[in-house]
Structures are given as structure tokens and as C-alpha cells.
Structure 1
Amino acid sequence: MPNAVGKSETLRERNRRQTHQSIVEAGMKLFLAKGYEATTVDEIAEAAGISRRTFFHYFASKDDILVAHLGVYRDALKTTILESASAGGPLDVVREALLKIAVRFQSAQTVAVARLIHEMDAARGRRYGDRPGQEQIVFEALCELWPAQDVRDRLRVVAMVSAGALRLAVDKWLQEDCRPPLAPYVQEAFDHLKAAI
């Protein structure tokens, strides 16, 4: 399997990647079964078949497991924005991409992860769902599609308001127990956004 620089993955790199992934999977499984606060690093390490010391070689804290898991969604977001380039202007491209993502990630596990993040946000007063920044990922993808320097500020604004619209859609969807699917909430949030501007 090629790595980021196009070379073949070494056995050591593959083992590191697999260990990393097994820690993330074990952690998420425990978070969803027991709750985030009730899950300990020792339990995650045991479930992943590693030592506590090895856990800390890969992650600084159990928070980082959630961040790593959310990376899958962020990677999909960037790819989908780039694939949605034909939808029109920047705001339309992001709306189209988020609608596609909303349909794609409607599994029971995704719903459970969304609820877990929402509960953590409420309990801790911070937004785990935003790290390392949906806004930044949207901005970077838009900059690839519109590389001219003179539109950067406009693209940053689109990224900011799009992240806000998505947050509104997800919050409302969770308040209504994740029914109906997320996509109509995303569409409604962007309809409100377009009406406001």
C-alpha cells in the first residue's frame, strides 16, 4: 500500500498504522458502550491488546482517539467538496457536499457517534465535533477549487457560515432524536442561510 510520498509501506509503518487503528476502534467501541467519561485508558489499552505505555506512545489522551476517529469524516468532507465542484459557487458547492455526506453517514454507528459528541460538548462546554476544524477543512478545499488569492476572504466567510449552518442542522437533528435523516436539516439550514444573505 503506498504511503503519502508514494513509496511502499514498510512492515514497521504498516504495524504502526494497524496498532493506531486498533486503538481507535477499541476506544470508540468502549465509548459507545460505556460512555466517554466511564471509559479508562487502561480499558482501551486492554481491549486493543497493548500496554498502557504503548497507548501513550500513540495518543496523549483518550480525547485524541475521538479526534482520530473524526478524521475519517473530515477526510470525506474534503474529498466530497472537491467532487462537488460543478454545483456552482462556493456556498452551493459546500451545501451539495454536506448533503452528500449527510446521506452517506446515516448508519446507526454514525448516529451514536454524533450523540456521543453532542453529550461531550454539552458536558464540557467545548465542541469536539469542530476539532481540528471543519471550517478549516472547508476553507482548504474551497481554496483548491478557487486558488486566486483575491477570493480568500470570501472563501473564509463561506467556510465559517457553512460550519455554523452544519452545526445548527446537527443540533436540531439530535434534538429531534435523529429522525428524519440529517439531510433535510442540512438543506433547511442552508435555505435559511441563503435567505439571510
Structure 2
Amino acid sequence: MRDTAGAATGLRERKKERTREALVEAAQELFLRKGYDATTIDEIVAAVEVSRRTFFRYFAGKEEVALARAMEFEGLFLTALATRPADEAPLTALRRAGSEVLLAVGDEPADGTGHEFLRMRRLIEDTPVLLAASLRNAMELERRMAKEIARREGLDPARDRRPALLVTLYHSVMRVSMDEWGDGEVLDAARLGRIVDAAWEDMGTLLGDRWTAGELRRA
């Protein structure tokens, strides 16, 4: 006998996901064309031909839909980190989890995912309300990352600051790498991966040369 209930549930979930994706795409297109402040929720739902009530089933408001892609990437990263082998060193686990996410995005043409991500990143940085929300999300992400590193190492993050320090180091390298990637002409994931690798090499050099000599272990 066919599992008709299960099939119906699967169909509903796929429809919900398609609706959510359509709302995100419509919102981003409007934000990038008109600006965040000039775009209304009514315009977003009209573009997808759904009701405001449907919109609010998925998102609390414009701010949340504007940050939807960034939050998706964060979710992918946390999942990748949680599933890294237990015997990996913490920084290795962080770097390889990040690489997994970049591979999942894959190489895209100049007007593909990388281009969209970069344009939205610039919009967020240029829109005070979105920048503030993005910074709050980044702080929460760092806390969750530090908590996961502490769990892997059998530490209490409230008593051991090393997970938080390591996560801050990781995000510093990624932030500098993202800025450099955004300044270039080619916005593909492979290029970003090369920039990240080079940035880590520079960080390793920095931590061992005269810029930091004697300071990291000063009594």
C-alpha cells in the first residue's frame, strides 16, 4: 500500500520550500534594484503572487528575508563543523568545514551565486539596520561555533576562553579574505578558496615574526 500521507507531507514541504525560495529571490531582486528602505513587503509578495500572511509564515519581516542567504550559509557551516571527525584539531575542523561550504556553493558564472552574494553583502554593509542585524548574527554565530569547539574538546566555554579566541581568529581571516575577494573581478568560489588559503599562510607568518614576537607569550 502506498504511503499517501507521507507523500502528501513531502509534497507540502517541497511547496513550502519553493515558496520560501521565491520570496527570498524576489526580495533580493527588489532590494538590489530599488534599495532596502524603498522596498515594501507588499511589493515582495506581489512579485511572488502570495499574501502578506504567507510572507509572515516564513519571515518576521524585511530584515530577516534580506539576511536569509547569509543565515543559510551560517547553517551550512555549523552543520559541516558539527560533523567533522572528532580527532581533527580545532582549527583544522574550522578550516575544513569552511571549505566544505565553499565546495557546496561551487563555481558560478560572474552573474551567479557569488555575484548575488557579494551584491547583497555590499547592500547589507551600506544599510545601517541590516548591518546592525548582521553583526548581531555574527556574534551569535561565533558563540555557537565556540560552543561546538568546546564540545569537541571536552571544555567548558564559560571557563576556557580558547574556543572563543580561536573562533575570533578564524573569522578575522575570513573577513579579510571576503573583502579581498569582493574587490576582484572574478567572483567564483575557487578564487575565494585560494584567497583564504593565502590569508592563512600570512596569518601563520604574522604569528611567528617580529610583528608579534615576544607579545603572545609575555608573562
Q: 1:132 aligns with which of 137, 144, 164?
A: 137
TM-score by length of 1: 0.75
1:185 deviates by 1.3
Q: 1:32-181 residue pairs with structure 2 within 5 A?
A: 32=32, 34-52=34-52, 54-56=54-56, 58-85=58-85, 88-105=88-105, 106-107=107-108, 108-124=112-128, 126=131, 130-133=135-138, 134-149=141-156, 152-178=160-186, 181=191
The question of whether the paired residues in 2 share the 8 Å contact of 1:98 and 1:186 is answered with no
Deviation digits for residues 66-117 of structure 1 (CA, Å, limit 9, x no counterpart): 2233222111111222343368321222122223323332432233222321
Letter in 1 for 2:173: A
Letter in 2 for 1:43: E
Residues 1:101 and 1:20: Cα distance change in structure 2 (over 3 Å): closer
Counting matched residue pairs gives: 191
TM-score by length of 2: 0.68
RMSD value, Cα: 3.4
Write the distance in 2 (CA, Å) between the matches of 1:158 and 1:65. Answer: 30
The question of whether the paired residues in 1 share the 8 Å contact of 2:173 and 2:196 is answered with yes
Please state if 1:182 is matched with 2:192.
Answer: yes
* Gap regions ≥5 residues in structure 2: 1-6, 208-219
Write the distance in 2 (CA, Å) between the matches of 1:58 and 1:102. Answer: 26
Write the distance in 1 (CA, Å) between the matches of 2:24 and 2:187. Answer: 28
Residues 1:144 and 1:27: Cα distance change in structure 2 (over 3 Å): farther
The question of whether the paired residues in 2 share the 8 Å contact of 1:117 and 1:129 is answered with no
Structure having the higher Rg = 2
What secondary structure, in the 3-state scheme, does the structure 2 residue paired with 1:148 have?
Answer: coil
How many percent of aligned residue pairs carry the same amino acid? Answer: 23
The question of whether the paired residues in 2 share the 8 Å contact of 1:99 and 1:183 is answered with yes
The question of whether the paired residues in 2 share the 8 Å contact of 1:32 and 1:113 is answered with no
